[in-house]
Amino acid sequence: MEKEKKHPLKKILLICSKANLEDVYAALVMANGAVMEGIETKMFFTFFGLDAITKKTMNKLHTATVGNPAMRMPGGLPFPTLLGGLPGVEAGVTTMMKKEMEKLDMPPVDEFLELIEAGGGEVYACKLAADMFKLKKEDFHETVKDIITVGDLYAMCDGEGTQIVFT
Amino acid sequence: MATKTIAGVNINVNEEGYLTDPSEWTREVATEIAKEEGIELTDKHFEVLEFIRNKVMNGEGLTIRGIGKSGIVDAKTFYQLFPGAPLKKATKIAGVPKPVSCI
């Protein structure tokens, strides 16, 4: 059989449109991992994902305890949706998640973004969503390089070996 | 497993060029592996390499975050010292196994 020619990934663009703790971390881990491998990395935050780069909200993200069928009690038993709706439960679960993440040396959101920036990764906010939520450049974390349009985003995807991932 | 002559000495390496026996590491070996990676080692590089070796010898995990908090270099400088894939390159030069960390 002929040897298949490989085309290594050279550039990746990660789009994050949600601000559940786990959605944001999925995007951050993927971005940071790409930076660590020497892949050119850009992140684009849109809609509720903007919470992850907004100074006021970025370190207060929660994991959803309602409508999350994969939720388990610490012993592995299913987590009843009704329980998830009680006051304080979401906060408690989130605190637990964050503690477990810290054990694995996963940094808080702002520090994670700084780590990505340190490695040459770039962070962008979506203009349309920023307009909608009435957010300005100064509302965003310092690592946010610019507020850009979808067109600008696609223009960044030039070059061979580029992939866009929507998380 | 294979051996490779680095800096005039026979060294045990794996197929990716990582030392399989960290005790065979010397500064000369580091300098030569670094050259293959296109890096000219400075004193700062060696400080980072020593830090990595100590961490690994103590059985602790390696992350870029941890190195950035080591007090020797910040994350940005670490990326500059070992451009491209810093953790992979630095461990290779430090003569320790390739890290399995995702962060």
Query: In the structure, what pLDDT confidence band is assigned to residue B1 with cuts at 50, 70 and 90?
Result: low
Interface confidence: ipTM more than 0.90: no
CA distance A113 to A53: 9
Q: Is residue A121 part of a domain?
A: yes
Q: Domain tally for chain B?
A: 1
Is residue B103 included in any domain, yes or no?
no
Residue B85 has its nearest CB partner, among A38, A107, A115, at A38
Question: Chain A residues with CB-CB distance to B under 8 A?
Answer: 29, 32-33, 36-38, 104-107, 111, 114-115, 118-120
Count Cα atoms within 13 angstroms, Cβ side, for A52: 33
In a domain, A29, yes or no: no
- Residue B74 maps to a domain: yes
Whole-model pTM: value is 0.91
B interface residues, A as partner, C-beta within 8 Å: 61, 63-66, 68, 74-76, 78-79, 83-88, 101-103
For chain A, the domain total comes to 1
Mark yes or no for CB contact A120/B75 under 8 Å: no
Provide the residue range defining the domain that includes B35. Answer: 2-94
3-state secondary structure of B31: helix
Tell me whether residue A99 is in a domain: yes
Assess if residue A56 is contained within a domain.
no
Nearest CA to CA, how far is B62 from chain A (Å)? 9
pLDDT at residue B30 above 90? Answer: yes
pLDDT at A20: 94
A35-90 pLDDT, tens digit each: 999 999 999 999 999 999 999 999 999 998 888 888 888 888 888 888 888 999 99
Q: Give the tokens for residue A24.
A: 């944001």
DSSP-based helix, strand, coil % in chain B, nearest 5: 50, 10, 40
pLDDT tens for residues A105-145?
899 999 999 999 999 999 999 999 999 999 999 999 999 99
Which CATH number covers residue A126?
Answer: 3.40.1260.10
Q: In this structure, what are the phi and psi dihedrals at residue A147, rounded to the nearest 5 degrees?
A: -105, 120
Tell me the residue type at A140.
F
Give the pLDDT band of residue B8 (cuts 50, 70, 90).
confident
* Smallest Cα distance from A27 to chain B, Å: 12
Query: In the predicted model, is pLDDT for residue A156 greater than 90?
Result: yes
DSSP-assigned letter for residue A114: H
Please report whether residue A39 resides in a domain: yes
Residue A124: what are its φ and ψ, rounded to 5°?
-130, 155
Q: Does residue B100 belong to any structural domain of this protein?
A: no
Longest CA span, chain A: 61
Instruction: List the domain range (segments joined by +) for residue A75.
Output: 11-24+35-46+64-166
Residues of A in contact with B75 (CB under 8 A): 114-115, 118-119
- Is position B102 within any domain? no
